[in-house]
């Protein structure tokens, strides 16, 4: 962390609140936006400022909150009773190794979409206190920003303490602010709880600053979503949509064709080559890379995978932990599970499941098959209904199939077993012993034929 600059930066993240309106057994700040907790989003934003320290104030279900981010370089501070935002910040800066002119930034862990650029504007202010505010058509519930005739910020009044006239003010406090350490300590010491909620209000420091003639700057956020807090699940899902819409717009502007930017969900990172197109209803999780000219059909789910250039993934395919070389045709209704690897131009058709198996160049598994713990060579064809019986109830076993192998339909390969290059397996076989190069294996009952067979007839009463 940055310790070079003269005036250092410290971040205090408030995350002790209960979040009753989420109606959840999970702590509020662990609810997710794009597959990551609100707290994780907030801590990423904090870390992007490269501060000297980050402290997170926890209370309600604090153990779970801390556990969720166990490997972060942050300090955890307990606030056992939630006596207000002022109390939380008092605890948050207790014992901090800081100079009087160091900056302390207060963030809320339930404001997940705060952008780094906006935050940098707040932090970059040279004033003693700077506040992030916004204008709202319906300001109810928020603290109102009260300015004097010259437009200077004088005070923040909470909704519950505001007069009828004060409630008309549309500029509200987002809660996010920056203050100099020395002044902050002094002001926090003077806080009193003689207000409608009987709490120590952090917002009361603004009136103290104004009384000392210290400049209070207000940075006005243009986009409400960037500073919106989450109190219930409706707000959470609305912010999720904003987040997704923004990612989709960035992707489209970077050159990916989206059938509908309102119908794509990216929960992680999606990296697209040139001329990629994505149809509606797809979900991308973890880290996904799509090569040049990849086409993804509607309603596919791709997680932690790399799809090689020129490949096509047809509708309703589910791909997880997979690498494909390129020019692959996958789906519709394919399921590729962790450890599946497709060499170039390999083809996986409908209702086919592949797990921990490598499929060689130009090989095809086109219909209704399961290939697990296997290696298939180049130019082989596995017929409809081919099953690798890889599990004996206790252990998994490997199936090895060579190049140019033809496996007839409805074949079971009971692993461990191998099939040599150029071998052929007759349809309906249950292969339990190795098949050598160029051999034909047929392992099924012979057909018997009975002439003049008379079908049973229904009895009459």
Tell me whether residue 201 or residue 284 sits nearer to ligand UD1 (CB atom): 201
Task: Choose the one of ligand UD1, Ca ion, none that binds residue 402, judging by a C-beta under 5 to 8 angstroms depending on kind.
Answer: none
List b or e across 252-280, with b for residues whose CB sees 16 or more CB atoms inside 10 angstroms: eeeebebeebebbbbbeebebbeebbbbe
Backbone angles phi, psi at 176, to 5 degrees: -85, 125
Indicate the Cα dihedral angle 32, 33, 34, 40, nearest 10°: -70
Per CB under 5 A, 112 contacts Ca ion: no
Q: How far is the CB of 145 from ligand UD1 (least distance, A)?
A: 9
Task: Choose the one of ligand UD1, Ca ion, none that binds residue 215, judging by a C-beta under 5 to 8 angstroms depending on kind.
Answer: none
Task: Choose the one of ligand UD1, Ca ion, none that binds residue 37, judging by a C-beta under 5 to 8 angstroms depending on kind.
Answer: none
Among 19, 27, 229, 297, which residue sits at the site for Ca ion (rule: CB under 5 A)? 229
Give the number of residues written for the chain: 461
Q: Return the range that interacts with Ca ion (CB under 5 A); candidates 221-229, 243-251, 279-287, 299-307.
A: 221-229
Tell me whether residue 240 or residue 314 sits nearer to Ca ion (CB atom): 240
Helix/strand/coil (H/E/C) assignment for every residue in the chain: CCCCCCCCEEEEEEECCCCHHHCCCCCHHHCEECCEEHHHHHHHHHHHCCCCEEEEEECCCHHHHHHHCCCCCCEEEECCCCCCHHHHHHHHHCCCCCCCCCEEEEEECCCCCCCHHHHHHHHCCCCCEEEEEEECCCCCCCCEEEECCCCCEEEEECHHHCCHHHHCCCEEEEEEEEEEHHHHHHHHHCCCCCCCCCCCCHHHHHHHHHHCCCCEEEEECCCHHHHCCCCCHHHHHHHHHHHHHHHHHHHHHCCCEECCCCCEEEEEEEEECCCCEECCCEEEEEEEEECCCCEECCCCEEEEEEECCCCEECCCCEEECCEECCCCEECCCEEECCCCEECCCCEEEECEEEEEEEECCCCEEEECCEEEEEEECCCCEECCCCEEECECCCCECCEEECCCCEECCCCEEECCEEECCCCEECCCCEECCCECCCCEECCCCCCCCCCCCCCCCCCCC
Tell me whether residue 172 or residue 264 sits nearer to ligand UD1 (CB atom): 172
Name the residue with tokens 């609140």: 17
Task: Choose the one of ligand UD1, Ca ion, none that binds residue 183, judging by a C-beta under 5 to 8 angstroms depending on kind.
Answer: none
Q: Return the range that interacts with Ca ion (CB under 5 A); candidates 192-200, 205-213, 225-233, 243-251.
A: 225-233
Q: How far is the CB of 56 from ligand UD1 (least distance, A)?
A: 9
Which residues form the interface with ligand UD1 (CB under 6 A)?
14-17, 57, 79, 82-85, 87-88, 108-110, 142-143, 156, 158, 172-175, 201-203, 229
Q: Site for Ca ion (CB under 5 A): how many residues?
A: 1
Task: Choose the one of Ca ion, ligand UD1, none that binds residue 202, judging by a C-beta under 5 to 8 angstroms depending on kind.
Answer: ligand UD1
Tell me whether residue 72 or residue 289 sits nearer to ligand UD1 (CB atom): 72
Task: Choose the one of Ca ion, ligand UD1, none that binds residue 14, judging by a C-beta under 5 to 8 angstroms depending on kind.
Answer: ligand UD1
Task: Choose the one of Ca ion, ligand UD1, none that binds residue 350, judging by a C-beta under 5 to 8 angstroms depending on kind.
Answer: none
Q: Return the range that interacts with Ca ion (CB under 5 A); candidates 76-84, 229-237, 322-330, 385-393.
A: 229-237
Task: Choose the one of ligand UD1, Ca ion, none that binds residue 143, judging by a C-beta under 5 to 8 angstroms depending on kind.
Answer: ligand UD1
Tell me whether residue 111 or residue 313 sits nearer to Ca ion (CB atom): 111
Q: How far is the CB of 98 from ligand UD1 (least distance, A)?
A: 20
Q: How far is the CB of 229 from Ca ion (least distance, A)?
A: 5
Tell me whether residue 235 or residue 414 sits nearer to ligand UD1 (CB atom): 235
Tell me whether residue 91 or residue 330 sits nearer to ligand UD1 (CB atom): 91
d(CA 52, CA 66): 20
Q: How far is the CB of 202 from Ca ion (least distance, A)?
A: 12
Task: Choose the one of Ca ion, ligand UD1, none that binds residue 17, judging by a C-beta under 5 to 8 angstroms depending on kind.
Answer: ligand UD1
Tell me whether residue 58 or residue 348 sits nearer to ligand UD1 (CB atom): 58
Residues near 74 by Cβ (< 8 Å), separated by ≥ 6? Answer: 13, 43, 54, 55, 56
Q: Return the range that interacts with Ca ion (CB under 5 A); candidates 24-32, 228-236, 275-283, 411-419.
A: 228-236
Tell me whether residue 166 or residue 304 sits nearer to ligand UD1 (CB atom): 166
Backbone angles phi, psi at 213, to 5 degrees: 60, 30
Query: Which one of the listed residues 41, 60, 318, 367 is annotated catalytic?
Result: 367
294 closest CA partner among 437, 70, 403, 284: 284
Residue 135 appears among annotated catalytic residues:
no
Q: Which residue is nearest to Ca ion (CB)?
A: 229
Q: Return the range that interacts with Ca ion (CB under 5 A); candidates 50-58, 121-129, 224-232, 339-347.
A: 224-232
Site residues, Ca ion (CB under 5 A): 229
Active site residues: 367
């Amino acid at each position: 962390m940055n310790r070079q600059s003269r005036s250092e930066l410290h971040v205090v993240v408030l995350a002790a609140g209960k979040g009753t309106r989420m109606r959840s057994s999970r702590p509020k700040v662990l609810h997710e936006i794009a597959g990551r907790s609100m707290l994780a989003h907030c801590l990423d934003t904090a870390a992007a400022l490269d501060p000297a320290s980050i402290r997170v104030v926890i209370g309600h279900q604090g153990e779970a909150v801390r556990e969720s981010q166990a490997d972060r370089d942050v300090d955890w501070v307990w606030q056992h009773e939630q006596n207000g935002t002022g109390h939380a910040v008092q605890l948050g800066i207790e014992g901090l190794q800081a100079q009087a002119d160091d900056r302390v930034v207060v963030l809320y862990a339930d404001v997940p979409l705060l952008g780094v650029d906006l935050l940098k504007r707040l932090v970059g202010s040279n004033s003693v206190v700077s506040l992030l505010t916004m204008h709202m058509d319906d300001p109810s519930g928020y603290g109102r920003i009260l300015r004097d005739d010259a437009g200077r910020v004088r005070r923040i009044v909470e909704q519950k303490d505001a007069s009828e006239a004060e409630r008309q003010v549309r500029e509200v406090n987002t809660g996010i602010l920056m203050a100099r350490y020395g002044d902050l300590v002094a002001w926090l010491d003077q806080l009193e709880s003689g207000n409608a909620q009987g709490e120590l209000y952090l917002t009361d420091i603004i009136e103290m600053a104004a009384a000392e003639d210290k400049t209070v700057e207000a940075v006005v956020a243009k986009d409400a979503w960037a500073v919106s807090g989450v109190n219930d699940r409706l707000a959470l899902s609305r912010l999720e949509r904003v987040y997704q819409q923004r990612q989709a717009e960035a992707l489209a502007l970077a050159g990916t064709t989206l059938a509908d930017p309102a119908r794509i969900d990216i929960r992680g990172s999606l990296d697209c080559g040139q001329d990629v197109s994505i149809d509606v209803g797809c979900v991308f999780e973890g880290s996904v890379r799509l090569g040049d000219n990849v086409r993804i059909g509607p309603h596919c789910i791709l997680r932690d995978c790399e799809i090689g250039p020129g490949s096509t993934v047809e509708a309703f395919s589910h791909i997880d932990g997979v690498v494909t070389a390129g020019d692959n045709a996958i789906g519709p209704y394919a399921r590729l599970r962790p450890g599946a690897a497709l060499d170039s131009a390999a083809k996986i058709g409908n209702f086919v499941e592949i797990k921990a198996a490598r499929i060689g160049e130009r090989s095809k598994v086109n219909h209704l098959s399961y290939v697990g713990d296997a290696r298939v060579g180049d130019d082989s064809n596995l017929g409809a209904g081919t099953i690798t019986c890889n599990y004996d109830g206790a252990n998994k076993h490997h199936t090895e199939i060579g190049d140019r192998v033809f496996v007839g339909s409805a074949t079971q390969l009971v692993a461990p077993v191998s099939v040599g290059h150029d071998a052929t397996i007759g349809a309906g076989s249950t292969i339990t012993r190795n098949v050598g190069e160029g051999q034909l294996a047929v392992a099924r009952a012979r057909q018997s034929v009975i002439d003049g067979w008379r079908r049973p007839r229904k009895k009459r009463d």
